Amino acid sequence: MKPKKQSLSFVNGYAVPRDSSEDSNVALANAFENATPRGELKEYTPEYVKTAGLVLRFNAYFDEAVENSQSEKIRSRKFIIYFFVEDGSIKITEPRLENSGILQGMFLKRHVVDGFSASSLNVGSRVNIYGFEFNIYSCDGFTRRYLGHMGLYVPEDAEAPNCEDPLRAKNDRMLHTSPSAKKDARGKFLTHDKQVLRFYCVWDDRVKLGDRRKFILTFYLIDDTVAITENEHAKGSRGGMSATLLHRCRLPLHDEDVIARGPADNDYDYVTAENLRIGGFVRVYKRDFFLYDCDEFTKSWYLTKHPSEFSEIDFEPRDVFEPEEELPKRGIPDHTGLAIGSEEDSLQNCIALIPKAPRKEFSNDEGVVLRFRAFMVPFNTTSELNEFDASRRFVVSFYVGDKTLSIYEQASKDVGSSKFLERIRVKNGSQCDGSFYDVNDMHVGSVLKIYSRAFELYDADAYSLNYLNGLKQL
């Protein structure tokens, strides 16, 4: 059996049927014969090749709290944020400052931060990267043009923050200033030996729960040192260990120089005689002292040394007198009717920490008891008495020896006999001077106002009547 011949032929990659007769000629098909001719092919450049080397540069800062420092509370640190357009990664560096005491340089290594793109960074925006809030205040020219081509509006650059450390700035200023000529201390010693300027000053510390204290400021002309002691003759002076507020030393003129550490020669500004004036203030380690007077030598020294700047009027004493506040008087609380014990007994708790029993007054009438019968009446014109209280009857016993009284209620068909008032001294409710009931207030017909109750005495026993008659004859 003969093998079957191939019936397909391939033209330009396409299968074309072949005629079985060998004499027929099959034209080869051309798929692109009638196609429109194409132009020149453009060179293709990948996107990562176009953005290779493109870096956006932003200047930023963030504020951090400073602990255990008197010179600053918040410190601003400058940074440079680099954004690599090629892969969207970010790198942050901090410019190095000499002798800053902070680990500077690389702050964030280059890597991709989720959620950040070229449009997330712009001048005036705040970005939070791993808990640090960066404030972008400027960018370079290329970054501004690139963001402009992207269709983003870029604000104008803001002013750079002040990131100077006050202490380091002071030290740098001292290093760059020319050293002053060395003063001849020997000539000053020979001229001003044992000469001091004495000012009288006052420090008002009542703002911080203190008081108003008077001091004496002594300025030594020999070396421009200052000593401050409390005026011993002033009223309210503490004296003792607290009499010296400032030992003799050179006094810094500015508060920022107080925390300075270093040689105390001429590196800082110190208080001199020209800074002391009557009616002015001198700053002593963040305390304001008002100078109100001086002695005669101080006055004559200024008039002789600086006759053109000072006159007699400049040395007139300033009035710093203030009337003293009266101390609150110790009051004694009122002895109400519900208080335990007598008023004299309760008063001992207000007088002494360990109360003592009040002294008893003995008289010749010790053991004399006056007894009266009484009934309730209205306490005043506006009050009313119910029918039950009007029917009650009482026995009032007055003890002449200690001027105390007690009240017992008589038995009736409604109530039994009971004690209405314990034996106690009672204030006269009809008087406003706080006096107690006396034997002169006890007679038939009188009304006793006792603790919002009024009792009218309508009868007495024979002993009480004879005793009262004997008092009237005397």
Instruction: Give the model confidence (pLDDT) of 20-45 as tens digits.
Output: 555 555 555 566 666 666 665 567 67
Domain boundaries, the chain: 49-165, 188-315, 369-473
- The 3-state secondary structure of the chain reads CCCCCCCEEEECCEEEECCCCCCCCCCCCCCCCCCCCCCCCCCCCCHHHHCCCCEEEEEEEEEEECCCCCCCCEEEEEEEEEEECCCCEEEEEECCCCCCCCCCEEEEEEEECCCCCHHHCCCCCEEEECCEEEEEEEECHHHHHHHHHCCCCCCCCCCCCCCCCHHHHHHHHHHHCCCCCCCCHHHHHHHHCCCEEEEEEEEECHHHCCCEEEEEEEEECCCCEEEEEECCCCCCCCCHHHHEEEEEECCECCHHHCCCCCCCCCCCCECCHHHCCCCCEEECCCCEEEEEEECHHHHHHHHHHCCCCCCHHHHCCCCCCCCCCCCCCCCCCCCCCCCCCCHHHHHHHHHCCCCCCCCCCCCCCCCCEEEEEEEEECCCCCCCCCHHHHCCEEEEEEECCCCEEEEEECCCCCCCCEEEEEEECCECCCCCCCCECCHHHCCCCCEEEECCEEEEEEEECHHHHHHHHHHHHC
Q: Residue 58: its pLDDT value, please?
A: 93
Residues 188-315, CATH architecture: Roll (2.30)
Q: How confident is the model at residue 359 (pLDDT cuts 50, 70, 90)?
A: confident
Q: How confident is the model at residue 291 (pLDDT cuts 50, 70, 90)?
A: very high
Of 83-92, 187-196, 262-271, 331-340, the range with the highest mean pLDDT is: 83-92
CATH number of this structure's domain 49-165: 2.30.29.170
Given a cut of 80, whether residue 279 has pLDDT beyond it is yes
Q: Residue 263: its pLDDT value, please?
A: 44
Given a cut of 80, whether residue 83 has pLDDT beyond it is yes
Given a cut of 60, whether residue 178 has pLDDT beyond it is no
Query: Model's pTM, two decimal places?
Result: 0.39
Given a cut of 80, whether residue 379 has pLDDT beyond it is yes
Q: Residue 261: its pLDDT value, please?
A: 47
Given a cut of 70, whether residue 348 has pLDDT beyond it is yes
Residues of the chain with pLDDT > 70, as a percent, come to 80
Given a cut of 90, whether residue 374 has pLDDT beyond it is yes
Given a cut of 70, whether residue 143 has pLDDT beyond it is yes
For 209-258, write each residue's pLDDT tens digit: 777 888 999 999 988 899 999 877 665 556 555 578 889 988 888 877 76
Same fold: 49-165 with 188-315: yes
Given a cut of 60, whether residue 318 has pLDDT beyond it is yes
CATH number of this structure's domain 369-473: 2.30.29.170
